[in-house]
Structure 1
Amino acid sequence: MVSPGEFRLIDALLEDGAFEPDVDEDGSVSYDAVAQLLDDPDDEPSAVLEQFATRGVLNDEFVSKVYVCPDCATEGLQYTTVCPACGDPRAVETAVIEHVCGHTGPESEFESEDGYRCPDCEQDLESVDIEKKHRYSCRACPESFDVPDDRLRCRECESLFPPLETIERVLYRYSLTDEGEAWLEHQRAARETAAAVLEERRFETEIDTVVDEGSRPVHVLAEDRLMGDRRIVAISETPEAETVDAFAAFAESVDAHPVVVTTSGTVQREVAERAERSELTVLAFDESGEGSLVPEYETTDSVGGHRTGLFQRLTAALEVPSRGSRQ
């Protein structure tokens, strides 16, 4: 079931074009624009974006990578090098001189007042007698080496890790696909149709709003203040039992009748069974013609599974008793 916040996120892409990752100076990564659109009950922005990319609603374009500390989960590890012998980060690239006598050492060991002198054979050196190279020297041990080992340092716990032992996260730029735009229009049409049908029944309706101050947002809120009747509508492709149960429990907590609209024309069998035995209305959005809500839908044993037949609802669309007349 797509939440109002998630729906709001996809809708914003029609104008914004794409969501870019925000990388702070300390290396932490966020999607600030996405976070502002989602509501508290929603998942983290990166998880929501990845979910819609997996479904084909969003396109994910590679931007870069960041690495996360496996010990404290801090993002944005800093690259450094260490001595391959002792693992100390004080591995410093220095100029190294190699004398024909066979002695090799840092350039500072050869420096004298008159030029260069070999500290081993004590011979004054001409430039032709020496070969200068750049190598790494460890300040913690006597080791000298050509190539240091790579490490990533955590700025919080200061631990050092080989890159392959850290957690790699790939940053993407997210944009709406053609299929995603069509999906959005279909969901939007279902939401607007539900609101229009309720308005025809003299309900005052609001789209993407909260039922009571401080409660979670709903796709459609409909109220008949004179009759003391309230209904909330959830738009979902293929309603699942777990999310419908949570929605129905929320509806009961705010003294509202729950209405679930399937935009795929299919619901889980458990949802259909619940609609028959409890105060829950399930309808399907039929986009043919001008679009309408119908009390007929198919059932499936699992989301994405094989459809097992047409389930006929006996009640008319949204024709449920008001709270005042329920037994």
Structure 2
Amino acid sequence: MSHSTNISIEALRTPLKPYATPDRNRALWQIGNTFLPYLALWGLLIYLLKNEVSFFAVIPILILAALFLVRIFIIFHDCTHGSFFASRRANTILGYISGFLTFTPFSYWQRNHLVHHGTYANLDKRGVGDMWTLTVNEYRALSPAKQLAYRLYRNPLVFLGIGPGYSFLITQRFLYSWEGKNERFSAMVTNVVIVLIAVLATLTIGLKTYLMIQVPIMLIAGAFGVWLFYVQHQFDGVYWAHKEEWDPARAAMDGSSYYQLPKVLQWFTGNIGYHHIHHVLPRIPNYKLQTCYDTIPQMHKDNPLTLKKRFIRLKRTSLREFP
């Protein structure tokens, strides 16, 4: 089904609006089946490492814990949109808690992400909450040194390896000049809690054990998260337009992917593969996205992205030619 039509964003949203109501019971169930297993895996890892089990033997458990942390981040993401709970206060509290676990300041990331929702697929408003993306002409106009920097930035070893660690462990610890009071507060509180957790861990399980668990989980989960973000807006045929031609309906349907993941990965990623639906109406909680796709024909997409069809095309330095 092609979505390159003149349908308005409001027309797309109309059949989705009944699903944009949080369900407290489903939200609480998701908290239970996400946070509790994550904490239990942490306990298991502490027990194994303190009993001198080889680090390599616990790598599968670290990967599983990282997948649960990805799911925690999806809940965090819903809270930034105010869609997880009906209560704004409940979303903020859970958002902060999730942010402590994912090392992400709630209000700071919320502001960046909402800017992303208003500017993605707009060639004249790139640079906030997105990946560095150039057109062919922009790339060719760069100096050789900047071309190399761009290619290195998009190299899988960098943006799936070094990049997530640098972003989640380092850059989000610092403040930026354009931030407002809420953003500064969330960054400072998150940093203080991270330090307190590290101090408590040092006094109990030991700093070495803490780092042997926390750092790998963050790096693995970060790589998963960045990969998902990449696939959601970087794929063959993706819609981009200059500001005067930018259309929010086309940006949502053709500028965001439907990533058809295996059911187990769909569960861990909180249905975020239905990213086009999320961009049409961000107020829909993740636990209702599957139902939206199943019941609303307008949301169906031909030829969805899959693991088999597309592992990745990372060597592409641009999307297509633009004037």
TM class, shorter-length:
under 0.3
Q: Which has the higher strand share?
A: 1
In the superposition, the TM-score normalised over structure 2's length comes to 0.23
The structure with the larger Rg is 1
Q: Which has the higher contact order (CA 8 A, sep 6+)?
A: 2
